[in-house]
Amino acid sequence: MKKLLLMTIAGTMILAGCAQNTPDGTGSTGGSADGAGSAANQPQENLQQTGYPIVNEPITLKMMGPKAAIHAEWKDMNFFKYMEEKTNIHFEFDTPPASGYADKKNLVFASMELPDVFFSAGLTALEEVNYGSQGILVPLEDLIDQYAPNLKAIMDERPEIRKSITTPDGHIYALPMIFDAPRAQVNPMLWINGKWIDKLKVTTLPKTTDELVDLLIRFKKEDPNDNGKADEIPVSATDLMTLRHNFLPAFGLVEEQGFYVEDDKVSYALMEDGFREYLRFMNRLYTEKLLDQEVMTHTAQEFNAKGAEVGYGMFPYALPSIPLGQTNVEEIINNRVLPPLTSPFNDTPLAKKNNTITRGTFAITNKNKHPEATMRWVDYLYSEEGAYTIFQGVEGENWEWVDAEKTRWVFLGSEQERGQATPDPGTAPPQHRREDIILKKNAEDERYFDRQPQLLEPYLKSPFPTVYFTPEEQTRVSALQTDIETYYKQMEAQFIVGRASFDKWEEYVSTLKRMGIEDLIALYQAAYDRWNQ
């Protein structure tokens, strides 16, 4: 997990805590987290319990969120105009540029000049825990149960979502973005260049690491880009991590930040024998120049430029057309996805399943006098109709169905124009991004991309859930994890390029132990045990 405990955030926590104190000791921000949650039990005559509008007489709330470069002013977006017309809830917006949003958010918490709502909030786990426990963010679980039937139904069907957004004190302080599109579960997949395998008359894709090496050797030696030069790059990536997530499962391991759970026991994959065998495999690819020799040094722009010029035989990426510089739809959908591999070390095909829950996307502060109405407002985004509206904008204005059966839909403009209609592109808003939204898009290349992950579905395995640490645990995690991550990444690169001998493997493992990896595993185990209760 990323380092969360920064000095600037710590400073804002102190300031926020001071801002709460009053001479009588009761505080000025609404009291404890439990006290704030009682708002769900305060009926409002203006509130409609069901149906629309949500309130009989219009109300105005203040919303804060990040304005991406692709965005119009939020007040001018069709999405917010439609929602106001539907619900009778008007928002006044504070939308600092996304590049400076985190700093502005820290200042808002420090000054206690809070909005009623954070939207596309980008709240860190530590912010949820700290500001929630101080009573600044309102507990949401009772509001969800009473005023969010759509979200509640999703969480009842999928208990792991509720567990993943419940903090160590038992409260939910922020709502998630739930992304069920197939591509999100496995992105980025390993794509095989369709033109190259057609040129080489390859009819069966590799199923083992040995078969994969054989194909990569053919890519290198048989001029599949047909330019008469030995300039082919058999396999490349923007970075080592995306290759590891695709190749390591062939050696029996899937991991998230190095960690995985098996039979409720947390382990660290990057010190196990399967990782060593993965490194041997990668060292062979590098030594035989089957792996891009610049994979650890090139930029994303340089990676794309090389792919467009000479091509890659295989690469992990969201869309194969971008690294290969392809624009023709038939050419694009001719690229294939590499199936899960086995190896001499492991005979079970595996693929890593991504976590599809983005936490911290929506929160209600204790300044909000209408939490019930606010929860009803956001719950619409977890409905089928609301999911289309937040993702695409308003039906009939920004998108439309192609057929009466509603099997295909199309944007009535460009992707750039979508950012003028809804805050979805460029941020992570609260929503349930449903599978059918993507699969029904009237674009053959995108539907093709989203059908491909279904080929991997039988082999998917989730390595580690989304968990919370207590503030005390987070302090220790941050202290340990930064140095450990720096060390394993350095050694991963050195083993692959041959600067570190595999005779030094036990020394590598011993160094991780001296650096505190076993303490770090214990902290992850404690967080997992709470999640799994």
- DSSP structure string for 429-476: -SEEE-HHHHHTBS-HHHHHHHHTHHHHGGGEE---------HHHHHH
**Contact present, 253 and 464 (Cβ < 8 Å):** no
State yes or no: cis peptide before 188, omega within 30 of 0: yes
Q: Which residues are registered as beta bridge partners of 395?
A: 399
Closest Cα partner for 186 from 351, 338, 357?
A: 351
Task: Please tell me if the domain spanning 7-181+356-453 has the same topology as the one spanning 188-353.
Answer: yes
Cβ neighbours of residue 26 under 8 Å, at least 6 residues apart? Answer: none
Long-range contacts of 23-31 (CB under 8 A, 24+ apart): 27/135, 28/112, 29/112, 29/134, 29/135, 29/136, 29/366, 30/135, 30/138, 30/366, 31/135
Burial class of residue 405 in the structure, from the number of CB atoms within 10 Å of its CB (0-12 exposed, 13-18 middle, 19+ buried): exposed
If one looks up domain 188-353 in CATH, what number appears?
Answer: 3.40.190.10
Are the C-beta atoms of residues 174 and 360 closer than 8 Å to each other? Answer: yes
Segments making up each domain of the chain, as ranges: 7-181+356-453, 188-353, 471-531
Nearest-10 Cα torsion for 102, 130, 469, 125: -30
Decide if 181 contacts 346 (C-beta within 8 A). no
**Element containing residue 264 per DSSP (H, E):** none
**Is residue 42 exposed (0-12), middle (13-18) or buried (19+ Cβ within 10 Å)?**
exposed
* pLDDT by 10s per residue, the chain, length 533: 433 333 333 344 333 333 333 333 333 333 333 434 444 444 478 999 999 999 999 999 999 999 999 999 999 999 999 999 999 999 999 999 999 999 999 999 999 999 999 999 999 999 999 999 999 999 999 999 999 999 999 999 999 999 999 999 999 999 999 998 777 888 789 999 999 999 999 999 999 999 999 999 999 999 999 999 999 999 999 999 999 999 999 999 999 999 999 999 999 999 999 999 999 999 999 999 999 999 999 999 999 999 999 999 999 998 899 999 998 888 999 999 999 999 999 999 999 999 999 999 999 999 999 999 999 999 999 999 999 999 999 999 999 999 999 989 988 877 678 889 999 999 999 999 988 887 787 776 666 777 788 889 899 999 999 999 999 999 999 999 999 999 999 999 999 999 999 999 999 999 999 999 999 999 999 999 999 98
Which CATH code fits 7-181+356-453? 3.40.190.10
Query: Cβ distance 149 to 402 under 8 Å?
Result: no
**Encoded tokens for 437:** 């939204």
**Contacts for 56 with CB less than 8 Å, ≥ 6 apart:** 46, 48, 88
* pTM, rounded to two decimals: 0.85
- Residues 83, 380: Cα–Cα separation, whole Å: 9
